[in-house]
Amino acid sequence: MDPLSSISEELAEIDGQITDIFRALSNGFQKLEKIKDSNRRSRQLEELTEKMRDCKRLIKEFDREVKNMERINDPNTSRMLNEKKQSMIKELNSYVALKKQYASNLDNKKIDLFDGPAEDLGEQNVLLASAMTNQQLIDNGNQMMDETDQAIERSKKVVHETINVGTETAHALKAQTEQMSRIVNELDSIHFSIKKASKLVKEIGRQVIF
Q: What is the pLDDT of residues 40-91, one digit of tens each?
A: 888 888 899 999 999 999 999 999 988 888 888 888 888 888 998 999 999 9
Q: Which tens digit of pLDDT belongs to each residue from 156-186? A: 677 677 777 777 777 777 878 778 777 767 7
What is the C-alpha separation between 190 and 201, in angstroms, rounded?
Answer: 16
Out of 98-107, 134-143, 161-170, which region has the weakest mean confidence (pLDDT)? Answer: 134-143
Out of 113-127, 135-149, 162-176, which region has the weakest mean confidence (pLDDT)? Answer: 113-127
**Average pLDDT value for residue range 6-23:** 90
Q: Are 34 and 50 in contact (CB under 8 A)?
A: no
**Average pLDDT value for residue range 124-153:** 63
Task: Quickly state the pLDDT bin for 136 (edges 50, 70, 90).
Answer: low
% of the chain residues with pLDDT over 90:
20
Q: Which tens digit of pLDDT belongs to each residue from 108-119? A: 544 444 444 444
Q: Residue 101 pLDDT more than 50?
A: yes
What is the C-alpha separation between 25 and 97, in angstroms, rounded?
Answer: 13
Q: Give the mean pLDDT of the chain.
A: 77
Task: Quickly state the pLDDT bin for 122 (edges 50, 70, 90).
Answer: low
For helices 9-34 and 38-68, the axis angle rounded to 10 degrees is: 160
Rounded (10°) CA dihedral 82, 86, 89, 90: -170
DSSP one-letter code for 190? H
Q: Residue 130 pLDDT more than 60?
A: no
What is the C-alpha separation between 203 and 149, in angstroms, rounded?
Answer: 81
Nearest Cα neighbor of 69 from 54, 56, 84 is 84
What is the C-alpha separation between 28 and 7, in angstroms, rounded?
Answer: 32
pLDDT at 112: 45
pLDDT at 118: 45
Nearest Cα neighbor of 125 from 110, 141, 109 is 141
